[in-house]
Amino acid sequence: MRADLAASYGEERLPRYTSYPTAPHFSPVIGADTYARWLSELPAAASASLYLHVPFCREMCWYCGCHTQIVRRDELIAAYQRTLRSEIAQVAETIGRRIKVEHIHFGGGTPTIMAPEAFVELMAAMRQAFFVLPSAEIAVEIDPRTLTVDMVEAMRLSGVNRASLGVQSFDPIVQRAINRVQSFEQTADVVAMLRRAGIAGINFDLIYGLPHQTVASCLDTVRRSLSLAPDRFSVFGYAHVPDFKKHQRMISQGALPDGLARHDQACAIANALKEAGYVQIGLDHFARPGDSMAVAFEERTLRRNFQGYTTDKGEVLLGFGASAIGHLPQGYVQNEVQIGAYAQSVGAGRLATAKGYGLTGDDRLRADIIERIMCEFGADLGDICARHGAEAETMLKSASRLKPLISDGVVRVDGDRLAVATDSRFLVRSVAAAFDAHLDPGKQLHSRAV
């Protein structure tokens, strides 16, 4: 990307658009009663994906932007697992039938912090409450530093078939600066354990823009990672928001690379992965040719949700656990963020919904446009608007933020079709933001555009 574009747009604070509207626009107006009604209204043929949030870790990584807390007592984790099982039963009872499930994703925190037998029990509870299809993808996020052989066996017995390993960086200087010391050997051992257990889908998560990180250290991490041959990579830019995540104050602002250096790191990682044969998918994912995500990208069926890019085609995402977000045709819901408030709601027999957002027709139109831009680096506005009973010309005129992007060569508009220039794809969030009717550029709620 041209240096002038990085300078002009790279410092903008923009959403990652894993939803539209984004979570800061959720309101307590949408509560447990609304969620219960939405669940009861789900069509008979609906299928769902499940997301389970496990908000515990053994120690805090200073770069972390997740809802998590440090625990030493396993009793707290066991109690939380029991609450999850109760919430699963509540939601299933509210739906009134065993809805089909095609995807299950455990996120955190560190989901594998649970006792192995507790994990097996939780999976059994989901299979009892829902009809988990034999072909379902069951994915778990893993901290390689704490994974045990017993937990791998529990995952195997429970049908887990995909694992996402947090790697971030193998540079020891960077690791010490973010309080996450994790050797290459630890990671390699975990990959071998998973593959021996038949858990074949392996994802690696990398981060650029970390303190003391350089292009050279990024490329060394990629080289080491490639030697372990994961199927997919997710490559995220570090979001430094110490006003919202107090532990990030442990990271020195002066040790962070500037916008142009972040861009150089992102480009170096992307080029190295593409040279190794991986297909670049959207803004920040890479997959081996033939992988289901690469196929979805080629067939233009790729989707985007709170886990990032996904092959999940469903319109229903049921979120379980403290802070978990769900998506239904009617809108979004989010559980109580604080673990105590979440447990209290579930324990009282209430759905734990704390806030949400009811979608309007205009929201659905803009969400479709933004998702296609994020997934395909372009959008057929004529087709999308026609499906929503709108006019592409009107939508283009309302997107005032597009004008400078067009002038700078970031975007091309040909009739009703919009395309992001190949050399400007790192600015895809800036293009998507042009169609965001809720965006408040004055609020520093999001990560930098580059």
Q: 343 and 366: one domain?
A: no
Do 323 and 437 lie in one domain? The reply is no
The DSSP call for residue 449 is -
**CATH number of the domain bearing residue 395:** 1.10.10.920
CATH of the domain at 107: 3.80.30.20
Residue 334 and residue 444 in one domain: no
In angstroms, the first-to-last Cα distance of the chain is 10
Do residues 314 and 396 share a domain? no
134 and 116 in a common domain? yes
Task: Determine the structural domain holding residue 284 and report its residue range.
Answer: 3-358
> Among 304, 324, 358, where does a domain finish?
358
Are residues 184 and 288 located together in one domain of the fold? Answer: yes
Both 307 and 332 in one domain: the answer is yes
Q: Which of 339, 358, 377 is the last residue of a domain?
A: 358
Residues 419, 443: one domain? yes
Say whether both 248 and 208 belong to one domain. Answer: yes
Overall domain count for the chain: 2
* DSSP symbols for 127-154: HHHSEEEEEEEEEEEE-TTT--HHHHHH
CA–CA separation, 254 vs 6, rounded Å?
A: 20
Model pTM?
Answer: 0.93
User: Which of 358, 388, 415 is the C-terminal boundary of a domain?
Assistant: 358
- 228 and 115 both lie in a single domain: yes
Tokens matching residue 385: 């608007």
- How do the pLDDT tens digits run along the chain, 450 residues long? 676 787 788 778 799 999 999 999 999 999 999 999 999 999 989 999 999 999 999 999 999 988 899 999 999 999 999 999 999 999 999 999 999 999 999 999 999 999 999 999 999 999 999 999 999 999 999 999 999 999 999 999 999 999 999 999 999 999 999 999 999 999 999 999 999 999 999 999 999 999 999 999 999 999 999 999 999 999 999 999 898 899 999 999 999 998 889 989 999 999 999 999 999 999 899 999 999 999 999 999 999 998 889 999 888 999 999 999 999 999 999 999 999 999 999 999 999 999 999 999 999 999 999 999 999 999 999 999 999 999 999 999 999 999 999 999 999 999 999 999 998 888 999 999 999 999 986 555 555 555
Structure token digits, residue 13: 């604070």
Q: What are phi and psi of 145, to 5 degrees?
A: -75, -20
Within this chain, do residues 370 and 318 fall inside the same structural domain, yes or no? no
Burial class (CB in 10 A: 0-12, 13-18, 19+), 247: middle
Structure tokens belonging to residue 88: 């699963």
Tell me which residue of 18, 16, 14, 20 sits closest to 368, measured CA to CA: 20
Q: What are phi and psi of 212, to 5 degrees?
A: 65, 10
* 3-class DSSP assignment, residue 37: helix
Dihedral pair phi/psi, residue 372, rounded to 5°: -65, -40
Q: Do 288 and 152 fall into the same domain?
A: yes
**Dihedral pair phi/psi, residue 202, rounded to 5°:** -120, 125
